[in-house]
Chain A
Amino acid sequence: MAYSEKVIEHAENPRNVGTLDKNDPNVGTGLVGAPACGDVMRLQIKVGDDGIIQDARFKTFGCGSAIASSSLATEWIKGKTLDEAEAIKNDRIVEELNLPPVKIHCSVLAEDAIKTAIADYRSKQAARKAAETK
């Protein structure tokens, strides 16, 4: 299968690779996929007090398209509000990276990773608020 130039570019020079402290209350972590299925993405966000995503990091076990999808996702969500980031749909990733039909699941996984990271951050914040009001 021939890869699109954008997939190759991201896979060779992935953006925002790394790990944030998952115990930091301002960090949300999304770990999606399964090793047995051939792809696992971990996407993390660090959210400022203003509700803006200050930083995003990822690590991915998967094919070039999976790596590119998660790399692109971190680029897109940085500087966005949680609601804006949550609104990113997988078909925008498909379009941007020119993914063929067999690779659409990579973009779905990236969308799931964003949503799971945001949900993790929100549940941490809710837990903290609940603890404060006690």
Chain B
Amino acid sequence: MALKFPIFMDYHSTTPMDPRVLEEMLPYFTEKFGNAASRNHAFGWVAEEAVEHGRERIAKLINAQSEKEIVFTSGATESNNLALKGVAEFYKDKGNHIITTVTEHKAILDTCKRLEKEGFTVTYLEVGTDGRVDPAHVAAAITDKTILVSIMFANNEIGTVQPLEEIGKITRAKGVLFHSDAVQGVGKVDFDVQKMNLDLVSITAHKMYGPKGVGALYVRRSKPRVRLVAQMDGGGHERGNRSGTLNVPGIVGFGKAAEIMMQEGKAESARILGLRERLRNKLSAALDEVYVNGTLEHRLAGNLNISFNFVEGEAMMMAIKDVAVSSGSACTSASLEPSYVLRALGVGDELAHSSIRFGLGRFTTEEEVDYVAELVIAKVNKLRDLSPLYEMHKEGIDLKTVQWTAH
């Protein structure tokens, strides 16, 4: 098969929609355009039926007991906001303490910061060099004021999968609610809200080959029954949890994407893992001073976050501009700070600046992997010829002993 450019290897940022998803969505833009809240005519009934079908498929994917536990939102950022703020507001008389980790997505961290300003106390747990949080640290952090523990399922930068099952046993035993931002892992790695004792889960369609602009929050209805204070006022949709006209085509697509994930997710992950390892092995064999960030053992199949020492990440992305990847380099952000996730692992700033995140997915081919591997090897060598640091390294100079002029 001929290669098509640019090549997409940034599946953690978003995913292309599966054509099967689009096909199922299309009628809901035109002839089946009804408002699911219209209870008095056929247009509304058709839309409502489609929404409920989507709800069932999504509930099934995460093994919810009832489809009534799925609250549709605009995406995972909204789901995370609703989970944290909604729980904090409802349970504030019970306690004011929340536990999370330093490697969460900004939608969690910034929501926590907002809650801190409002008087809540947040514990940000450190992770190990493998990127995983120690369940014993969660247990030790819980106090009689703790109302919620929020820990992501799989990390968006390094793909690290957290030990949710072990943590869920602890939170359940202590009677603390347990939320997970699970956007990156659901459907790809075993995920089960019962086995993991999860009470709230944020997911989104566009990370699983569905459309952008639609997400969901799973809210457990029994044992325990989780209560939220809605963060959006209006018509009282979604059992009062989230007002706003439902995105019917989006929900239809989300449901179809969830169904495909359920049927094909496992086999797909095995295939993607093969491609990821092919890429990793080729790069490691041809280049020295290459470091994989995070554990290889508990990791999303499609994630390869790797640092090419002595080569700056943004320069690398520019050199391989026909390939869409992402970098933890400071230069990719306005803040000039390198990735806080890599810092949390103890990856030095030098290596964080040199990191590239390859994200492989459903439509990645072996030809693409081979092309990208060859291109990356050539460009790393070229940029190292241009790097004073690589030259000094080759001369045997320990870069840590050099007096640098920080700026």
Contacts and interface: CB of A to CB of B under 8 A. Distances in A.
B338 interface: yes
B405 A8 contact: no
A59 B388 contact: yes
A102 B353 contact: no
B156 to A, nearest CB: 20
B407 A37 contact: yes
Contact of A40 (B330, B338, B388): B388
Interface residues of A, number: 32
B349 A39 contact: no
Interface stretch (A11-19, A45-53, A126-134): A11-19
Interface stretch (B37-45, B106-114, B306-314): B306-314
A84 B186 CA distance: 62
Contacts of A35: 349-350, 353, 389, 399, 404
Contacts of A8: 318
B385 interface: yes
A60 interface: yes
Nearest to A105: B407
Interface residues of B, number: 29
B348 interface: yes
Q: Which one of B338, B348, B386, B405 has the greatest number of beta carbons of chain A within 10 Å?
A: B386
A38 B385 contact: no
Contacts of B330: 37-38
Contact of B405 (A32, A59, A102): A32
B331 to A, nearest CB: 4
A43 B385 CA distance: 15
Interface stretch (A61-69, A85-93, A117-125): A61-69
A31 B399 CA distance: 13
B406 interface: yes
A102 B387 contact: no
Contacts of B385: 17
Interface of A: 3, 8, 11-12, 14, 17, 19, 31-42, 59-64, 66-67, 102, 105, 108-109, 112
